[in-house]
Structure 1
Amino acid sequence: MAKVDIFSQIRSRYNSFTNTEKKVADYILENMKAVIYMSITDLADVCHVGESSVFRFCKTMDLKGYQEFKIALAHSLSLDEENTVLSSEITMQDTIEELSSKILSTNVNALNETFNLINEKDISEAISSMIKSKRIHFFGVGASLMTAMEAKNKFMRITNKTECSVDSHLQIMTAALLTEEDVAIVISYSGSTKDTIEVAKMAKERGAKVISITRFAKSPLTIYSHITLLCGSNEGPLQGGSLSAKISQLYLLDVLYAEYFRKTQSESTLNKEYTAKAVIEKML
């Protein structure tokens, strides 16, 4: 996508906008940097309009949708920067020492914010549902699929009821066969990925318990979630798959794993011994 100044385009088309679209445009122009880290639901709420109105605004700007708008927004902001920015902190002029320090700070801050966002009641309810369930299915696409696969790899060491399909078609078919005895753990940083939203919607319709791990408390994904666990890492639209976001998701999964183990200690200890012995035979 060519780098265009989205702000100039908004101003040039402003008079042709509907009143609702003008509300969205006004907020964007006044809060340029903040919008990059907002979900479509967050932006709709602060503008006091519906999500469909935000989507129509993006279409009016000749964009495919909200995510493409955020990419255009990030490009436009970068045009105003004196230096090319790799993330919100790192620049091309940094030394290796400065780079290392900034990455460390970003990851530590992501973990601290995730810790501060943890709701004990939600964690307890999630664990209770997972223990009672017949099957635990992990879902995600793109970078979040890697996190989902990591979750399956971790939990399968202590329980034989975890699943993770790697293909989006297999995921939606799996969701279509879920029951009230199943738990669906859906991972999506933005909460706005179409395939992931469809999986969550299908899982909820089938009666499964839906637990989402996401950045935003309000997003299209959380509409279909019974429990929302928030990860505290800001990822711009040009930083898709950033490790700080993944680290914060993995931290939440580690908390779930430890609490699950604690609540099912006898069974989990035995299963961990079995799986450890099975793997050790593969080592020299």
Structure 2
Amino acid sequence: MDLMCVARNICLFGIGSSLCVARDAYLKFLRLDKACVLNDDWHSQLLQARNMRPEDVGLFISYSGQTEELIKCAEAVKKSGAKMILITRFAASALSDLADYNLYVAANESLFRNGAMSSRISQLNMIDILYTAYANTDYERSMARLCATHIEKPNYKNAKEVKRYAGTE
């Protein structure tokens, strides 16, 4: 947690279902005004990795730990001198060997999978744990940021109000 707190940027990396988890992390840390970067395509992720500095941290999400594109990004992060945190399954892998810190998730899922369901849920849970721990490092500031970044939603009191709000009345 200390590493994430002092990092200039948290750079997020993921492909496929793990990219969805990285996006969830991005939105959470954005609410707390923590500088973070997420790129949706692999080429942009590789460029981001090559532009990282030692005061940044790379947060990688890969259930298999063997995704070729992420391995290339991880090698670039290591070359930059930045630290690397990996969220992955409990098994030796190319990415776990490169990572400075491995956060293992409990999921019993084949590497040949249809929907990455249990792995994605366990990865999202780990993101929630990191986010909560980060927010608790400076609770007062975090609460102030959450209030400042809250987006009001309409208060639907009845069906008539819903129709009026939707413009279908």
Query: What TM-score do you get using the length of structure 2 for normalisation?
Result: 0.87
Quick one: which of 23, 26, 34 aligns to 1:152?
26
1:207/1:240 Cα in 2 relative to 1: closer, same or farther (>3 Å)? farther
Shift in Å, 1:212: 0.2
The structure with the largest alpha-carbon Rg is: 1
Match status 1:258 vs 2:132: yes
Q: Which residue of 1 aligns with 2:15?
A: 141
Quick one: which of 138, 142, 149 aligns to 1:268?
142
> What CA distance in whole angstroms lies between the structure 1 residues aligned with 2:101 and 2:115?
23
> What CA distance in whole angstroms lies between the structure 2 residues aligned with 1:201 and 1:240?
28
CA deviations on 1:93-139 (whole Å, 9 max, x unpaired) are xxxxxxxxxxxxxxxxxxxxxxxxxxxxxxxxxx1000001101111
| One-letter amino acid of the structure 2 residue matched with residue 137 of structure 1 | C
Moved over 4 A (4+): none
- Secondary structure of the residue that 2:58 maps to in structure 1? strand
CA deviations on 1:6-31 (whole Å, 9 max, x unpaired) are xxxxxxxxxxxxxxxxxxxxxxxxxx
**Structure number having the greater strand percentage:** 2
RMSD: 1.2
CA deviations on 1:185-204 (whole Å, 9 max, x unpaired) are 00000000001111111111
Q: Point out where structure 2 has 5 or more consecutive residues left out of the alignment.
A: 155-169
Q: Which residue of 2 aligns with 1:223?
A: 97
> What CA distance in whole angstroms lies between the structure 2 residues aligned with 1:184 and 1:220?
16
> What CA distance in whole angstroms lies between the structure 2 residues aligned with 1:216 and 1:198?
21
Shift in Å, 1:243: 1.6
Q: Size of the alignment, in residue pairs?
A: 154
Match status 1:174 vs 2:48: yes
CA deviations on 1:239-283 (whole Å, 9 max, x unpaired) are 24422111111111111111111112122111111111xx21xx3
Checking the alignment, whether the CA contact within 8 Å between 2:18 and 2:62 is kept in structure 1 is yes
Checking the alignment, whether the CA contact within 8 Å between 2:4 and 2:57 is kept in structure 1 is yes
Quick one: which of 34, 42, 59 aligns to 1:185?
59
1:189/1:165 Cα in 2 relative to 1: closer, same or farther (>3 Å)? same
> What CA distance in whole angstroms lies between the structure 2 residues aligned with 1:241 and 1:179?
35
Q: Point out where structure 1 has 5 or more consecutive residues left out of the alignment.
A: 1-126
Checking the alignment, whether the CA contact within 8 Å between 1:190 and 1:216 is kept in structure 2 is no
| One-letter amino acid of the structure 1 residue matched with residue 23 of structure 2 | M
> What CA distance in whole angstroms lies between the structure 1 residues aligned with 2:132 and 2:34?
16
> What CA distance in whole angstroms lies between the structure 1 residues aligned with 2:91 and 2:33?
30
Quick one: which of 95, 110, 133 aligns to 1:236?
110
Could you tell me the percent identity over the aligned residues? 35
> What CA distance in whole angstroms lies between the structure 2 residues aligned with 1:253 and 1:170?
22
Q: Which residue of 2 aligns with 1:209?
A: 83
- Secondary structure of the residue that 1:144 maps to in structure 2? helix
Once the two structures are superposed, the pairs formed by residues 1-284 of structure 1 within 5 Å of their partners are 127-276=1-150, 279-280=151-152, 283-284=153-154
1:202/1:156 Cα in 2 relative to 1: closer, same or farther (>3 Å)? same
Query: What TM-score do you get using the length of structure 1 for normalisation?
Result: 0.53
**Structure number having the greater helix percentage:** 1
CA deviations on 1:122-170 (whole Å, 9 max, x unpaired) are xxxxx10000011011110011101100111111111240111001000
- Secondary structure of the residue that 1:236 maps to in structure 2? coil
> What CA distance in whole angstroms lies between the structure 2 residues aligned with 1:229 and 1:217?
11
